[in-house]
Amino acid sequence: MDKILEIIKQEKQRQTDQLQMIPSENYASAKVMKAVGSCLMNKYAEGYPKRRYYQGNVNVDKVESLARKRVLQAFGLNGKQWGVNVQPHSGCEANVAVYNAMLKIGDRIMGMYLPDGGHLSHGWQMPGRKVTLVSKIFKVKFYHVNRQSRVFDYDQIEKQVRKFRPKMIISGGTAVPRDIDHQRMSQIAKEAKALYLADMAHEAGLIAAGVLNSPFPYADVVTFTTHKTFRGPRGAVIIGKKKYMDRLNFSVFPGLQGGPHIHSIAGIAVAAKEVQTKAFKDYAKQVIKNAQVLAEEFKQAGLDVVSGGTDKHLVLVDLRKQSLSGWVVAWALEKAGIIVNRNTVPYDTGSPYYPSGLRLGTPALTSRGMKEKEMGQIAEWINAVVEHVKDEKLPKDPAARRKFVKSFRRRIVKDEFLRKMRVEIADFSKKYPVPGV
């Protein structure tokens, strides 16, 4: 057997034995995986349906056209008012394509502050350091969550917008537990004569299912990735008002990309059809119920749940009350068989690599059929691990921290408590089939 195929086999086993709780991960269906792994990956198709730069695209055109149609249907959109581009290879490229289409070099944009839950592709920069390409091209400022409530303060956002006068306002992020008021964001943008871009990368499937606020009555352009709550393959979509679509399409190709990944677009088409089923709508409701159970269990255990709960698929926990680093707890949880990610929290005093928080989600667990009862058990395991490592304090001094990191990584491999829990979790996890694997 080829070494790569052996590694894939090992990864299938890992996904079966462990609990996948990173909010941006999910399990694509067998039908989606079959489409992505099809002969469509052999075809080059620069351009758009009926306007290709290569021959032999009669079937490819059908695939992309059907994907566009199904995506619009998934969100109940009228093709006369909205257009869709299914070619972006990633969410970052989708967002950059929007900026490239709608803005001029040097224009002002405003998005959510990264440590508060925003995203790199919204122009992340640090004092004196332009980190992202977007920050090097445009003038960027950020809005924050309220320091006490740790949710959006729309009045404060409005004040900032009036002062900064951006050409575009962006909503959405990677660690925002509460639903977004798209109507208010749109009003703020319109008052400033700014465009409103809603990045719903995390929430797309939940919005399609009707369990979260939709940005479509209010936004000028919407972007999303197709592999999170949308439960499709890796890829991204831009949906824009019809009057903007020529610009948006030209920005994607030839502006940023060459040939589209038709096999991924086929997977998007399959996922978009699945999203419209009653089974998926029931799934989306359960995703949120499960996340809310986790949030409540963590609060009962004395953990600081950012914003006091969640409206979505994710829970953000601030570990500073326990004087713990998210790095420490995330590694300990992995050794126990629970996969989360360390994450910054609002007004974090840690660093991006050693942040103070944990980000946990329920899309993948719910795809395996887990419900509220299972969430109670999983929360119990997580709380037990937090208690187990409560004395593992990450030093602030860089030299001492490096020494601690090496020591901790060695010690947890041999930790008997975590080893026993890993066996218990693997036995539990195998009871819930992994879709598509």
pLDDT, tens only, 14-28: 999 999 999 999 999
Is 156:95 a contact under the CB 8 Å cutoff? no
The share of the chain scoring above pLDDT 70, in percent, equals 100
- Which regions of the chain carry the CATH code 3.90.1150.10? 7-25+283-429
Assign 436 a pLDDT band (cuts: 50, 70, 90): confident
Q: What is the pLDDT of residue 117?
A: 86
| pLDDT higher than threshold 80 for residue 1 | no
Hey, what CATH class is 37-275 in? alpha beta
C-alpha distance from residue 151 to each of 122, 155, 176, 219, 303 (Å): 18, 12, 8, 20, 18
Residue identified by tokens 């970052």 is: 92
Report pLDDT for 127: 87
Banded model confidence at residue 128, pLDDT cuts 50, 70, 90: confident
Q: Residues 35-86: pLDDT tens digits?
A: 999 999 999 999 999 999 999 999 999 999 999 999 999 999 999 999 999 9
Is residue 44 flagged as an active site residue?
yes
Q: How many CB atoms lie within 10 A of CB 171?
A: 30
Q: Which residue has the tokens 């290569």?
A: 54
Find residue 145's DSSP bridge partners: 152
Mean pLDDT of 213-226: 97
**Percentage of the chain with pLDDT > 90?**
95
170-207 pLDDT per residue, tens = 999 899 999 999 999 999 999 999 999 999 999 999 99
Is the pLDDT at 11 greater than 80, yes or no? yes
Bridge partners of 228?
A: none
| pLDDT at position 336 | 98
User: For position 150, what pLDDT does the model report?
Assistant: 93
* pLDDT on residue 113: 92
Taking the alpha carbons of 419, 384, 289, 25 in that order, is the dihedral positive or negative?
negative
Is it the case that residue 437 has pLDDT exceeding 80?
A: no
Q: Give me the pLDDT at residue 399, please.
A: 96
What per-residue confidence (pLDDT) applies to 81? 96
325: nearest Cα among 342, 308, 340: 342
Give me the catalytic one of 130, 184, 234, 289.
Answer: 234
Helices 372-388, 416-429: axis angle to 10 degrees equals: 170
> What residues contact residue 55 under an 8 Å CB cut-off, 6+ apart?
none
What distance in Å separates the CA atoms of residue 323 and residue 342, rounded to the nearest whole number? 15
Which among 158, 179, 199, 392 is annotated as catalytic? 199
Outline which parts of the chain fall under CATH 3.40.640.10: 37-275
Pairing of strands 47-48, 51-52: antiparallel
pLDDT at 88: 98
Rg of the chain, C-alpha, whole Å: 22
- Contact yes or no for 319/303 (Cβ under 8 A): yes
> What length does the chain have?
437
Chosen CATH of 7-25+283-429 out of 3.40.50.2000, 3.20.20.80, 3.90.1150.10, 3.40.50.920: 3.90.1150.10
225 is catalytic: yes
Query: How far apart are alpha carbons 101 and 115 in whole angstroms?
Result: 27
Of the residues 225, 229, 310, 362, which is catalytic?
225
pLDDT digits (tens, 9 = 90+) for 322-377: 999 999 999 999 999 999 999 999 999 999 899 999 999 999 999 999 999 999 99
Query: What is the C-alpha to C-alpha distance for residues 169 and 331, in angstroms, rounded to an integer?
Result: 36
Residue 126 has pLDDT above 90, yes or no: no
pLDDT at 84: 98
17, 31, 43, 44: which one is catalytic? 44
Average pLDDT, the chain: 96
Specify whether 228 is catalytic. Answer: yes
Instruction: Given the residues 150, 228, 231, 422, select the one marked as catalytic.
Output: 228
Catalytic residue among 17, 25, 46, 153: 46
Would the pLDDT of 268 be above 90? yes
